[in-house]
Amino acid sequence: MNALLATLACCSLCAAALPAAGEEMHSARADALFQQAQTLLDAGKVEAACSKLEASEAAGNSIETLLHLADCYERAGRSASAWHAFQEAQAVAHAEKDAEREQVAAERASALEPKVMRVVLIVPPLSRVPGLTVQLGNNTIPAASWGAGIPVDAGVQRISASAKGHRSWQLDLSVARGDAREYRVNVPTLTPVPQPNSDRRTTFRTAGFVTGGVGFAGLGAGAVFSALSRSADDASTCARGVIQCTPNRSNRTGYGEAAAVSFAVGGTLLATGVTLFVVSPAPDSKEQHAPLRVAARVAGSGGRLQLEGAW
């Protein structure tokens, strides 16, 4: 039992030591990267030093490293990145109750703000198609930030917009170093992508089935009205025992007209349905066609159905 307890205690101590060892390794790596950055700065290799400081800050998450990184950005002429890093350092120092570093970061950020270049994305209401995504570089800009100044570093900034069912748009904007001003960019209305042929084929065939089905129903109604018209002229429809009885001719005429209209409309719809099914575009067809529609016209003398479009 004593041996078991000793083993468990040893395991517990080892488990507790693992996180501490991991933290020490990260800290050692962060310190090594920081020293490499200082060497590069002394050699005048500012961009390379900033990359080392970025890696050091990610490994150690030290406020001191963050302040040095912000200073490196400023030396490299990346005013927006430096301004943002000083603001982040200010927030971290405030959370750690480090008043001295918080004041330093705040003063550096305030001094940089007038030098920061900004991009203003103008997205008119007509350009705001459903699902529109606007990006600045690799960052998606939320709709709440459209129309507001977004800090950017000098250099080429890629602006893009995309939405499902539309052609994407992009613009490479050259931001001049030291030019502290706003760059206003209008995002155009995206062009809809032509409907795929497979969708048009499905639309044609579905319309053909529906129209043909209605046509069958119309022919059925015509058959019913035709039967009613014949029965209306049958003398046997008179009530038994009534001597003076003549068939109702007005009913016969009405049923006959209804049967004629039903047959005509039903036959036309059936023929239209078959036509739609037959002329549906092939899956690999790339031709553009005019929209197709079926329109019904009713007049005092009867009805008419017309098929409009091109195929």
H/E segment holding residue 8: helix 2-42
> SS3 string of 77-143?
CCHHHHHHHHHHHHHHHHHCCCHHHHHHHHHHHHHHHHHCEEEEEECCHHHCCCCCEEEECCEEECH
- The answer on 274 and 202 residing in a single domain is yes
Higher pLDDT, 56 or 224: 56
Mean residue pLDDT of the chain comes to: 75
Same domain, 208 and 302: yes
Out of 94, 114, 134, a domain closes at: 114
Question: Do 253 and 294 sit in the same domain of this protein?
Answer: yes
Look at residues 159, 186, 213 and tell me which one is the last residue of a structural domain. Answer: 186
Is the pLDDT higher at 59 or at 190? 190
CATH number assigned to the domain comprising residue 167: 2.60.40
Check whether residue 31 and residue 60 sit in a common domain. yes
pLDDT of residue 172: 95
In this structure, is residue 151 part of a structural domain? yes
Residue 292 lies in a domain: yes
Please report whether residue 233 resides in a domain: yes
CA distances from 95 to 10, 23, 99, 101, 204 (A): 37, 21, 10, 11, 65
pTM: 0.53
If asked whether residues 142 and 173 sit together in one domain, one would say yes
- For position 8, what pLDDT does the model report? 41
Are 216 and 294 in the same domain? yes
pLDDT, one tens digit per residue, over 146-196 is: 999 999 998 999 999 999 999 999 999 999 876 668 899 999 999 999 866
pLDDT in tens, 33-44: 888 888 998 898
Confidence of residue 71 (pLDDT cuts 50, 70, 90): very high
5 is a domain residue: no
CA-CA distance, 4 to 277, in Å (whole number)?
Answer: 81
Tokens standing for residue 86: 């000083």
Longest dimension (CA), the chain: 127
Q: Say yes or no: 284 and 220 in one domain.
A: yes
Q: What is the pLDDT of residue 100?
A: 93
Is 191 domain-assigned?
A: no
The pairing of beta strand 182-186 with beta strand 117-122:
parallel
As beta bridge partners, residue 120 has 149, 184
Band the pLDDT of 15: cuts 50, 70, 90.
very low
**Among 186, 211, 239, which residue terminates a domain?**
186
Q: What is the mean pLDDT of residues 138-143?
A: 94
In a domain, 47, yes or no: yes
The pair phi, psi for residue 56, each rounded to 5°, is -65, -40
CB 282 within 8 A of CB 197: yes
Name the residue range of residue 130's domain: 117-186
Domain count across the chain = 3
In a domain, 175, yes or no: yes
Inter-axis angle of helices 79-95 and 63-75, to 10 degrees? 160
Question: Does 260 lie in the same domain as 206?
Answer: yes
Asked if residue 1 belongs to a domain, the reply is: no
Q: Are 67 and 105 in contact (CB under 8 A)?
A: yes
